[in-house]
Amino acid sequence: MLAAGLGYVVDPVSRQLISHFGADLTYVLDLPELPALIVGNSIGFEAFGATGSLWRSRRVSWDGMRNLEHDGLLLRGEAWEYTDRWYPFSINLRSGEVTGGSYREPVPSAQAGWWRRLTRRCS
């Protein structure tokens, strides 16, 4: 379930909250052929399956994406850069591997958990 930019995993029988994730989620794609739910915010994507997270993409954008379209197991779009330019990218939806995008900086080890900071889990 998604609401107000956050994702919630709810037990369908007990209706109890199992976990929640995300921050400012702006993109959701139900992909039955994997099966997976792909969610994205302004900087990256994550895929969820029946057992939890399947993959997290590397950071794709400085802060914003547009023109998102998927074709089979490929997601394409444009990622914003601080120079106010847009750069094309694609993501393999099976693996989460990203080609292109605007964020090309190495991620220092102190920032390697960028997605973890944007996601919150509860038990």
User: Structurally, how many domains does the chain consist of?
Assistant: 1
Is 69 part of any domain?
Answer: yes
Tens of pLDDT, residues 17-58: 876 766 788 888 999 999 998 989 899 998 988 877 899 999
57 domain residue, yes or no: yes
| Residue 101 placed within a domain | yes
Q: What is the DSSP pairing of strand 98-100 with strand 65-71?
A: unpaired
pLDDT in tens, 60-74: 999 999 999 999 999
Q: Give the structural domain span for 67.
A: 2-106
Domain annotation covers residue 66: yes
Any domain includes 59 = yes
Element (H, E) at 118: helix 114-118
pTM of the model: 0.77
8: burial class by Cβ within 10 Å (0-12, 13-18, 19+)? Answer: middle
Cα–Cα distances in Å, from 120 out to 6, 7, 20, 25, 89? 9, 10, 6, 13, 27
Confidence of residue 120 (pLDDT cuts 50, 70, 90): very low
The answer to whether position 111 is within a domain reads no
